[in-house]
Chain A
Amino acid sequence: EVQLVESGGGLVQPGGSLRLSCAASGFTFSTYKMHWVRQAPGKGLQWVSYITSSSSVANYADSVKGRFTISRDNAKNSLFLQMNSLRGEDTAVYYCARGETGGEYFFDYWGQGSLVTVSS
């Protein structure tokens, strides 16, 4: 059974940093592109970032480019999102999502999410 479990969320002040983790199991993690997608409270879904299976390519939404860094550790079946210079508008539930097998940008499995709250 595919499982994605996020951790690392919490309350942080504006300008602060936070690192999210996603532990993957039930599939060959090293062969899949992985993504982060966020959802502000009561709002819709916004794609944040993706990373290729080998970490050779990463891509970001314009709203987080230069502030967020995605990475992965295939030996530990883990995905990460380093978030710096956090702003109020970054407050959201952050989901780790698996990219579909063919590499297209849609998401066949999602974690339960980790809430990040940016507030003073």
Chain B
Amino acid sequence: DIVMTQSPDSLAVSLGERATINCKSSQSVLYSSNNKNYLAWYQQKPGQPPKLLMYWASTRESGVPDRFSGSGSGTDFTLTISSLQAEDVAVYYCQQYYTSPPTFGQGTKLEIK
């Protein structure tokens, strides 16, 4: 199975500041035939199910604010929130769908400083 490792485990950022979450896969999730990275990001607020934010590493899901962006390729990926809002407090997960079983990172808890 592909192991997904996120860093940091938790993060405190001031309102309006940038938040950066990293995700590393144990093997490349870049499929050479289509040059796509099989990597998704989810946001989970307390007491709620996860919500899809990003797929193909950098494609924003419909309705997701443009302050959220995804980058990276191969084994190293980043989710960036350009200007943190109070409603962004949540746990964020990366997930690879390059191979079965799909696997998730352990999560990064984002809080307000």
Determine the chain A residues whose CB is within 8 A of the CB of B93 once the complex forms: 44-45
Interface 9-mer from A68-76, A81-89, A108-116: A108-116
Give chain A's interface residues, CB within 8 Å of chain B. Answer: 44-47, 59, 61-62, 95, 100, 104-113
Instruction: Report how many residues on chain B are interfacial, defined by Cβ distance under 8 Å.
Output: 21
Closest CB pairs A-B (n = 5):
A110-B49, A105-B97, A106-B40, A105-B102, A45-B104
* Structural contact, B55 and A100, CB atoms closer than 8 A: yes
* Structural contact, A46 and B104, CB atoms closer than 8 A: yes
Which residue of chain A lies nearest to B50 when distances are taken between CB atoms in the complex? A110
Determine the chain A residues whose CB is within 8 A of the CB of B42 once the complex forms: 45, 107
* Structural contact, A112 and B97, CB atoms closer than 8 A: no
Interface of chain B residues 48 through 96 with chain A (CB within 8 A) = 48-52, 55, 61, 93, 95
Determine the chain A residues whose CB is within 8 A of the CB of B100 once the complex forms: 59, 105
